[in-house]
Amino acid sequence: MPDNNLTVTTGTSSYPVVVGTGVLETLPRRLEELGLQGSLWLVSDSAVFPHYGAALEARLRDVGYPVQSYVVPSGEAGKSPEQLWNLYTWMIGAGVERRDAVLALGGGVVGDLAGFAAASILRGIALVQLPTTLLAMVDASIGGKTGINHPLGKNLVGAFHQPRLVLADTLTLRTLAERELRSGWAEVIKHGVIRDAGLFHLLETHATALQTPAECTQHPDPDAIIRRAAAVKVAVVSTDEREQGERIILNYGHTLGHALEAATGYGTILHGEAVAIGMHAAARIAADMGLLTAEEVERQQQLLTAYGLPTNFPPDVDREQILALTLRDKKVQQKRIRWVLPTTIGAVSVRDDVPEMVVRKILTDQ
């Protein structure tokens, strides 16, 4: 069967993004085609490894690859300095070499943590992303962003380190918890808002035909939808590898979303849930500034709600803390927050002139 591969091409690298049913079985062949012949360091988490880790290890060993595995706790707690240090200790103690490769089997947390380890150990070794969550398949595994969380902000410590391959097996979504699946749809919807109005319309059509969020998350052709959403990330990263220009649009909903995650404790609110809340707030800010119509704000909110995603801040969250945390956002320049704001479904603009009073108003009203 053809792969229908996507390809990320930047100034420093080029690699395939493969989305499909059962493609994880092709990993040994693909590693050989990439010329990766050293030891393999498989990093996964406690939710994913029991489903796929042992079988993947066996498949790799059967063709002669030396492979060792390390399992981190599931959830955002895994993206900590302590877990990163533990990975270093494990790999150095077991004799990691520069020709080796790290395999990141899991969601965005595993991809970010294992990716940062690959980027920094021995000053950098090969990385292969094997995303098992929807969020990671369409977003986190693509583009080379790696990192860990800090108590003062999310993803503030990390490095750009492009993988050699992204292999997204949609069969792994069958064991994904429903809440995690809904969280991933936030990033799919986000990609429709920022650059693909047709994708947004497809999601709307599907949601209109169904009755519940659980039904909405089950698409008749998930591979095609996931590949189309991933294509948005691939296209943007290919033009702006290190977020010096257009790549900032991928942060739509993330300024307030990341602040919310930090304020509530990482993992209390899932990343996609926080992004959905941030998207609705950003759309309302855009409407208040005359950039977006009220009808389009409503369209976005209805679609997020149809997929079972929240759109309002929890009532007990300190709004002043949220505002303070936005100033630690990676997009801040000269103490000015650069907001990604929608101008219509399918297009956004980046603004650094959003009045604080407007943000306060939106936060207070939610």
Catalytic (active site) residue 254: yes
Q: pLDDT at position 83, please?
A: 96
Active-site pick, 182, 191, 251, 284: 251
CATH architecture of 178-365: Up-down Bundle (1.20)
Exposure of 128 in the CB half-sphere (CA atoms within 13 A): 23
Active-site pick, 57, 243, 261, 296: 243
> Rounded to whole angstroms, how far apart are CA atoms 167 and 131?
7
Structure tokens at 240: 């702006």
Beta bridge partners of 159: 146
Exposure of 50 in the CB half-sphere (CA atoms within 13 A): 6
> Which residue did the predictor score with more confidence, 178 or 215?
178
Structure tokens at 287: 């409407």
The region of weakest confidence among 8-22, 58-72, 202-216, 290-304 is 202-216
Q: pLDDT at position 329, please?
A: 67
Residue 3 reports pLDDT greater than 60: no
For the chain, which residues make up each domain, given as ranges? 6-175, 178-365
Catalytic (active site) residue 233: yes
Q: Which residues contact 156 (CB under 8 A, 6 or more apart)?
A: 147, 149, 150, 328, 330
CA torsion sign for 205, 209, 213, 216 is negative
Q: HEC profile for the chain?
A: CCCCCEEEECCCCEEEEEEECCHHHHHHHHHHHCCCCCCEEEEEECCCHHHHHHHHHHHHHHCCCCEEEEEECCCHHHCCHHHHHHHHHHHHHCCCCCCCEEEEEECHHHHHHHHHHHHHHHHCCEEEEEECCHHHHHHHCCCCEEEEEECCEEEEEEEECCCCEEEEEHHHHHHCCHHHHHHHHHHHHHHHHHHCHHHHHHHHHHHHHCCCHHHHCCCCCHHHHHHHHHHHHHHHHHHCCCCCCHHHHHHCCHHHHHHHHHHHCCCCCCHHHHHHHHHHHHHHHHHHCCCCCHHHHHHHHHHHHHCCCCCCCCCCCCHHHHHHHHCCCCCCECCECCEEEEEECCEEEEECCCCHHHHHHHHHHC
Active-site pick, 123, 174, 295, 335: 123
Angle between helices 81-93 and 108-120 (to 10 degrees): 50
Active-site pick, 57, 76, 180, 187: 187
State the chain's mean pLDDT as an integer.
Answer: 94
Categorize the per-residue pLDDT at 155 as very low, low, confident or very high, splitting at 50, 70 and 90. Answer: confident
Residue 177 reports pLDDT greater than 60: yes
> Rounded to whole angstroms, how far apart are CA atoms 284 and 256?
12
Catalytic (active site) residue 361: no
Catalytic (active site) residue 33: no
Active-site pick, 161, 190, 191, 254: 254
Catalytic (active site) residue 123: yes
The region of weakest confidence among 77-81, 97-101, 338-342 is 77-81
Mean pLDDT of 244-250: 93
* Bridging pattern class, strands 14-20 and 165-169: parallel
Convert the pLDDT of each residue in 87-98 to its tens digit.
999 999 999 999
Exposure of 203 in the CB half-sphere (CA atoms within 13 A): 30
Task: Give percent above pLDDT 70 in the chain.
Answer: 98
Convert the pLDDT of each residue in 298-316 to its tens digit.
999 999 999 999 999 999 9
Mean pLDDT of 212-236: 92
> Which residue did the predictor score with more confidence, 45 or 332?
45
Give the chain's radius of gyration (CA, Å): 20
Active-site pick, 190, 195, 206, 271: 271
Cα–chain center distance at 342: 20
Active-site pick, 79, 145, 164, 195: 145
Q: pLDDT at position 334, please?
A: 62
Residue 2 reports pLDDT greater than 50: no
Phi-psi region of 265 (alpha: psi -120 to 50; beta: other; left: phi over 0): left
Active-site pick, 191, 228, 233, 338: 233
Q: 6-175, what's its fold?
A: Rossmann fold (3.40.50)
Q: pLDDT at position 214, please?
A: 84
Categorize the per-residue pLDDT at 261 as very low, low, confident or very high, splitting at 50, 70 and 90. Answer: very high
Q: pLDDT at position 129, please?
A: 98
> Rounded to whole angstroms, how far apart are CA atoms 118 and 126?
7
Catalytic (active site) residue 251: yes
Categorize the per-residue pLDDT at 223 as very low, low, confident or very high, splitting at 50, 70 and 90. Answer: very high
Residue 1 reports pLDDT greater than 70: no
Residue 48 reports pLDDT greater than 80: yes
The region of weakest confidence among 10-14, 89-93, 114-118, 308-312 is 10-14
Active-site pick, 206, 228, 247, 280: 247
Active-site pick, 161, 164, 258, 330: 258
> pTM for the full model?
0.94
Q: pLDDT at position 331, please?
A: 65
Residue 250 reports pLDDT greater than 50: yes
Task: Give percent above pLDDT 90 in the chain.
Answer: 84
Structure tokens at 263: 């304020």
Residue 14 reports pLDDT greater than 70: yes
